[in-house]
Amino acid sequence: MPMLLEAPLGLSNAKVTDHHRARSAIVYVRQSSYKQVQHNRESQRNQYALVQRALELGWIPERVRVFDADQAHPGQDGLRADFRDLVAEVSLSRVGLVLTYEASRLARSNADWYALLDLAAIVGTLIADADGVYDPRTYNDRMLLG
C-alpha cells in the first residue's frame, strides 16, 4: 500500500498518495466564449485558484501545470488543443490529478468525458473539483463523476 504524505494546512485527502504526487497535477481552466473570458472574472479567478488547491493537497509547485489555452473556444474539437494535450498526458501516466472547477463540465461532450474517465481509471489519475477529489477506479466516485 502506498505511503500517504501529509498535505499542508490539514487538507490531506486519503485518496491522494505519494504515487499521485510523483506525477503532475493539471489545472484545466475553461470558459466557452470570449464574452465569458472578458466578463466572468470571478469564474476565472476561482479556476486559477485550483493551483493553490493542488499545493494544499501536497503537490510541489514544479509539478502543478495550468492548461488554459482552450478559453473562448466553444465545443469545436479542432480548437481544443489543451484538452487533447490533457488526455494525452493522462494516457501516458504523467498526471496524478486533474483539477477543474466543475468536473461535470471538464469535457465539452459526453464522449470526451467518458473517454477521459476511462483513461484516468486505467492509469490511476484522480479528478478533483471544488467539491472533492474523486478516484474513477472506485464505484462510488465513478457514479458521482458519471
pLDDT value for 39: 58
Which fold is adopted by the domain 18-133?
Rossmann fold (3.40.50)
12 tagged catalytic: no
Annotated catalytic residue, options 12, 32, 43, 91: 32
Beta carbons of 50 and 101 less than 8 angstroms apart = yes
Beta strand spans in the chain (E): 24-28, 64-67, 95-99, 126-129, 132-134
pLDDT in tens, 92-109: 999 999 999 888 777 777
Strand order in the sheet with 95-99: 64-67, 24-28, 95-99, 126-129, 132-134
CA angle 77, 82, 87 (to 5 degrees): 85
**Which amino acid is present at 54?**
A
| Neighbour-count burial for 50-80, b at 16+ CB within 10 Å, e otherwise | bbebbbebbbeeebbbbbeebbebeeeeeeb
Could you tell me the pTM of the whole model?
0.81
**Residue 139 confidence class, pLDDT cut points 50, 70, 90:** very high
pLDDT in tens, 14-69: 899 999 999 999 999 876 545 555 556 666 788 888 999 999 999 999 999 998 87
The owner of cell 504515487 is 19
Domain boundaries along the sequence of the chain: 18-133
pLDDT value for 131: 85
**Among candidate residues 69, 146, 135, 70, the one with its CA nearest the CA of residue 98:** 135
pLDDT value for 36: 55
Beta carbons of 23 and 90 less than 8 angstroms apart = no
